[in-house]
Structure 1
Amino acid sequence: MHLALIDASLGTPHAQRNFEREVDASLTVYDVNEGQMPPPIGATEPIQTDDGPLQSFDGVIISGSQSSVYDDHRPWIQELARWVEGAIADGLPILGVCWGHQLLAQILGGTVRGGSYELGYVQVHQEEEDPIWQGLPDPFTVFATHSDHVVELPSDARLLASNETGVQALRYKQVYTVQFHPEYDLKTAKAMIRSKDLSADSIQQALDTCTDATVEAAQPTRRIFDNFLDHVSATAAEAPSSALNA
């Protein structure tokens, strides 16, 4: 199985390192803020990867970012959005994480706005049963780091998870999104907390959530990646041979 990893982070090494560790599939990474866009959907030329040429990707993961999906001064966001629109229309399975969650929600007709920070290990409640939650307890513990929020769901999307800050996961057809970070390890969590331009008290409150107990409690969220890969396999099995990136 071979996926495109859309790395929307702005110059940090965490996204690629964490996803490559947690996702049990081959990944071709596109550093989109540096202008590395995946090939056009439906292109006839093979996609060049480290594993050799491919006719199409099996699925896509879109990472977090320090930018906002509504930033008009970052042209790569608009370019990526157009590519993602084509991938959705083509039936490609997609998993959006944090910023990727917000980008997909916005593309699908939802609303994203800035608000207060959710930072540290928090609890999330499942709103609907779905295969993406296979092996996860309810509620479950996650690491969150964001101040933008999906404040209005796309009209045809299903709310899969939430907490007191709002939407934490949604599904639209073959597309899944999560606001939190299943891929983070403790090193990344602490680094991201300390990078925020917040008061010393806010930083310390977030660091105080990084206990052995919460880190252990968050381990089951890594199952989301295995569950997404199962979804990718099932989508490929159900689709006509010409459906994905034909």
Structure 2
Amino acid sequence: MSAPDIALLDASVGETPAERNFRRELDAPVTTYKVSERDFPEWPGADGSWPYDGVVISGSQTSVYDDEPWMSTLEELVTDLHELGVPMLGVCWGHQFLARALGGRVAAMGDYELGYQYIERYDDSPLFAGFPGEFVAFETHSDEVVELPPGAVELAGSDRSCQAFSLGPTFGVQFHPEYDLETVRTVTDRKREEGVPAEKVDAVLAAATPERHAETELAKGVFENFLTVIADVRERRVQSAGTD
């Protein structure tokens, strides 16, 4: 079976490394849509057909509860895709957006979770196949999922917030498995402009060494596992079509 076609819904604002980072980590053909600029893929057909096998939703500098017209359109799209059973993976903002769109709740934390953090895995989900009980990932967010959608399962967490959930073939991860060290340093330094105390920014930058960042390599496994989920969904659909 051919590699799955992925629609990357880039919710970042302006020129960012989001597309570059996701293309590097996703071992599959990727078509990018800058949804924050109202660039969307075609809608699913009346028969449920759609040209992509899976969706990845990026991070963003916005909050999911901001009143932006493009967010309303995106919510309609992901709701339809979820109902069709199209596998989706939201990262950071994307994680929060999927949770909220499907009936959960997101709220401000009152502070930034910024830096390398230990994530505890709670569930034997296919998204974390091969992961240990605890792993390191990079975090940068000031909103969090405080209530999961009905029927969702919390897959991982930190001492600060929910770090992953699943609802059928829809997944969200709060951490950034796609970040390279350059992105970590650039994003962290920009937090000074957002009011994050200089001493906190400096401490995170001091910790952003090649050796420390190498510890996040395991977190990138969510991408390979997500592609495996997509392959399993495709296989079941082929088998189902063959028995009709």
TM-score normalised per structure 2:
0.91
Name the stretch that deviates more: 78-87 or 197-206.
Answer: 197-206
User: Which residue number corresponds to residue 104 of structure 2?
Assistant: 110
Q: Take 1:103 and 1:241, find their aligned partners in 2: how far apart are those partners?
A: 32
Cα distance in 2 between the residues matched to 1:59 and 1:90: 11
CA distance in 2, matches of 1:124, 1:199: 24
The answer as to 2:30 corresponding to 1:27 is: yes
Q: 1:125 aligns with which of 120, 125, 139?
A: 120
Match of 1:147 among 139, 142, 149: 142
User: Relative contact order (alpha carbons < 8 A, sep ≥ 6): 1 or 2 greater?
Assistant: 1
Q: Equivalents in 1 of 2:167, 2:123: separation in Å?
A: 13
Q: Secondary structure at the match of 1:41?
A: coil
Shift of 1:154: 1.4
User: Tell me, which stretches of 5 or more residues in structure 2 are unaligned?
Assistant: none
Instruction: Give the letter for the 2:102 counterpart.
Output: L
Number of residue equivalences? 233
Q: 2:236 & 2:35 partners in 1: Cα distance? A: 30
C-alpha deviations, 1:74-118, integer Å up to 9, x for none?
A: 110111111110000111000000011000100111110011211
The residue that corresponds to 1:88 in the other structure is: 82
**Given the superposition, is the C-alpha separation of residues 3 and 241 from structure 1 closer, same or farther in structure 2, using an over 3 Å criterion?**
farther
AA aligned to 2:232 is A
AA at the equivalent of 2:156: A
Q: Match of 2:207, SS? A: coil
Counterpart AA for 1:162: G
Give the distance between the partners of 1:178 and 1:64, measured in 2 at CA: 10
Counterparts of residues 168-179 of structure 1 (less than 5 Å): 168-179=163-174
Normalising by structure 1, report the TM-score.
0.90
The answer to whether residue 222 in structure 2 is matched with residue 227 in structure 1 is: no
1 or 2, which has the higher helix percentage? 2
Residues 29 and 139 of structure 1: is their aligned pair in 2 closer, same or farther, counting only changes over 3 Å? same
- Match in the other structure for 2:61: 66
Identical counterparts, % of pairs: 42
- Superposed CA RMSD in Å reads 1.7
The runs of at least 4 consecutive aligned structure 1 residues that moved more than 6 Å come to none
For 1:92 and 1:240, locate their aligned partners in 2 and report how far apart those are by CA, in whole Å: 14
Does the aligned pair in 2 maintain the 1:141–1:214 contact within 8 Å? no
Tell me, yes or no, if the aligned pair for 1:30 and 1:36 is still in contact at 8 Å.
yes
Q: Which amino acid aligns with 1:31?
A: K
Q: Matches of 1:63 and 1:127 in 2, distance apart?
A: 23
Equivalent in 2, 7, 14 of residue 5 of structure 2: 2
Please tell me the residue identity of whatever aligns with 1:199.
P
- Which letter maps to 2:72? Q
Structure 1 counterpart of 2:9, which letter? Answer: I
Provide the residue aligned with 1:56 in structure 2: 51
Counterpart residue number, 1:37: 40
Q: Contact 2:53–2:87 at 8 Å: present in 1 too?
A: yes
Q: 1:134 is matched with which residue? A: 129
Partners of 1:153 and 1:205 in 2: CA distance:
32
Q: Which runs of 5+ in 1 are unaligned?
A: 47-54
**One-letter code of the match for 1:101?**
H
